[in-house]
Amino acid sequence: MGNGLCSSVLNVKRVCITLAAVFIGLRAVVEASTSRSKKMMEVEGKINRLKRHAVKSVQSEDGDIIDCINIYKQPAFRHPALRNHTIQMAPSDNPSITITGIPEAFTKRDTGSSMFGTSQLWLKKGSCPKGTIPFRRIEKNDTVKASLPVDYGRKKARNSHPSTEMDENKVQNLLQSNHSMAILMTEGYSYTGAKGDIKVFNPHVEYDDEWTTSQIALKSAVLQDYECVESGWAVNPGVYGDRKTRFFVYWTADSGKKTGCFDLTCPGFVQTSSEIALGAAIHPISTTDGLPYQITLYLFRDPNTGNWWVQYDEKTNVGYFPPELFTYLPQTAQTVQWGGEVYSSRIGGFSPHTSTQMGSGQFPILEESSGYVKRIRVRDNSMILKFPEQIDHYTDEFRCYDVRFLGDYTEDPEFFFWRSWKE
């Protein structure tokens, strides 16, 4: 009798514990769902406010809608550090194109390039008036793809992993889980600018949660929480909703853990140009057997304000990353990188490896069929744009993403390009 009573009591306790666990689990699910719903409502509210600020809209032939937004209503000023920010409409100095460190016969290449320039598709259908910025409209469905709405537009955090490829400091800045890089780099000096001509392709991206970029990046030397400003072209379905090649800028103040984003998907970058839309499709695109199209990018620090400006195709100052976003970059950068990057959970030791490509997706042998960066230049505290004094080239996965660095037998003595393939 007593044993039966004890057994019944124990069974009741087990049921109560099970019910309590189920209740706690359901409550957590409900709270998470409620929190996500609130964040979605916040994101939707921000999108609607930006639409209301549009003084004009342009329907691009590729499906994008470009809203011409009052320059003072742009997303940057939602950042707590920028609420009282005064817009710098143009750089305070004319960035020097004086070249040193290479033969005089090659300096003529720094006043122009023999490659073909590009434009943006939306400009075929209209333009934005002065006093506005072209904002590529973000749809609610775009933000749903992110794990959390607040993570939309942000690169996933990069966790370093060990390697014997390079010395420890460089490894910590380069090797990161789920990211594969093939780059040319210079470091060890105080850099205030970097420039290059990037050939534009439309590489294959296998899955919607993967992306590929070709860019110029300036970074601080802090290893685990490095600060970075970047610009280049990207194929990123998770941010842009398709697989078109698009112009981008990017920043982070903590290696992408909690800060930073592509373009204007979060507060930070201050746009000043009414001619270039961040995230807009680039046109035309190079093909391996066609004409070579490129974009020329120059990222440089304004000596008076500390703003990091992005200049597009030698003539258009798109906007800047304010120093208030960073701790170390307001002074100088310690590392400059040119090259390609692929994000995927299917790289490294994963089998099968992703087929997402980098650059042109071709082996780097022939200039005509390979992705590259040409006219590589840096600027230091001398304020002179020049060829880097020291260069390293590096790849995480040489069997999949490779680089070739040519220092001889070329018109410009330095030349860099990359590729990818699936084993």
Cβ-Cβ contacts under 8 Å for 256 (sequence gap 6 or more): 154, 155, 156, 157, 158
Catalytic residue (choose from 210, 227, 341, 414): 341
- So what's the pLDDT on residue 31? 45
- So what's the pLDDT on residue 288? 81
Q: What H or E segment, with its residue span, contains residue 35?
A: helix 2-53
Residue-by-residue DSSP string for 314-382 = TTEEEEEE-GGG-SSTTT-EEEEEEEEEEE-SS-TT-SSPP----TTSS-TT-GGGSEEEEEEEEEETT
Q: What CA–CA distance (Å, rounded) separates 164 from 160?
A: 13
Instruction: For tokens 């941010």, name the residue.
Output: 239
Whether 341 sits among the annotated catalytic residues: the reply is: yes
Catalytic residue (choose from 230, 275, 368, 397): 230
**Residue 11: pLDDT over 90:** no
Q: What H or E segment, with its residue span, contains residue 231?
A: strand 228-235
- So what's the pLDDT on residue 331? 92
Is residue 405 very low, low, confident or very high in pLDDT (cuts 50, 70, 90)? confident
Is residue 35 very low, low, confident or very high in pLDDT (cuts 50, 70, 90)? very low
Kindly state the average pLDDT of the residues 336-343.
94
- So what's the pLDDT on residue 108? 45
Query: Euclidean distance between the first and final Cα of the chain, in Å?
Result: 70
Query: Torsions phi, psi of 346, nearest 5?
Result: -115, 45
**Residue 354: pLDDT over 50:** yes
Q: Radius of gyration over alpha carbons of the chain, in Å? A: 24
Most confident of the ranges 262-266, 358-362, 383-387: 262-266
Whether 227 sits among the annotated catalytic residues: the reply is: no
- Check residues 251 and 417 and name the one with the higher pLDDT: 251
Is residue 400 very low, low, confident or very high in pLDDT (cuts 50, 70, 90)? confident
Q: Give residue-wise pLDDT tens across range 66-108.
A: 999 999 999 999 999 999 999 999 999 866 555 554 444 344 4
In this prediction the pTM is 0.83
User: CA-CA distances (angstroms) from residue 297 to 218, 220, 376, 387, 419?
Assistant: 12, 19, 10, 15, 21
Query: Torsions phi, psi of 422, nearest 5?
Result: -105, 125
Is residue 363 very low, low, confident or very high in pLDDT (cuts 50, 70, 90)? low
**Residue 137: pLDDT over 90:** yes
Instruction: For tokens 């992705």, name the residue.
Output: 371
Coil, helix or strand for 18? helix
Cβ-Cβ contacts under 8 Å for 246 (sequence gap 6 or more): 233, 234, 235, 236, 240, 279, 280, 281, 282
Q: Is residue 186 within 8 Å of 336, Cβ to Cβ?
A: yes
- So what's the pLDDT on residue 152? 77
- So what's the pLDDT on residue 6? 47
The neighbouring-strand residues paired with 230 are: 217, 250
Kindly state the average pLDDT of the residues 343-350.
86
**Residue 359: pLDDT over 80:** yes
- So what's the pLDDT on residue 162? 41
Percent of the chain with pLDDT over 70: 69
Q: Is residue 318 within 8 Å of 311, Cβ to Cβ?
A: yes
Q: Is residue 79 within 8 Å of 259, Cβ to Cβ?
A: no
Q: Give residue-wise pLDDT tens across range 165-197.
A: 444 444 444 445 788 999 999 998 899 999 999
- So what's the pLDDT on residue 118? 93
**Residue 379: pLDDT over 70:** yes
Supply the mean pLDDT for the chain. 81
Least confidently predicted of 116-125, 248-257, 355-364, 387-396 = 355-364
Kindly state the average pLDDT of the residues 329-340.
94
- So what's the pLDDT on residue 213? 96
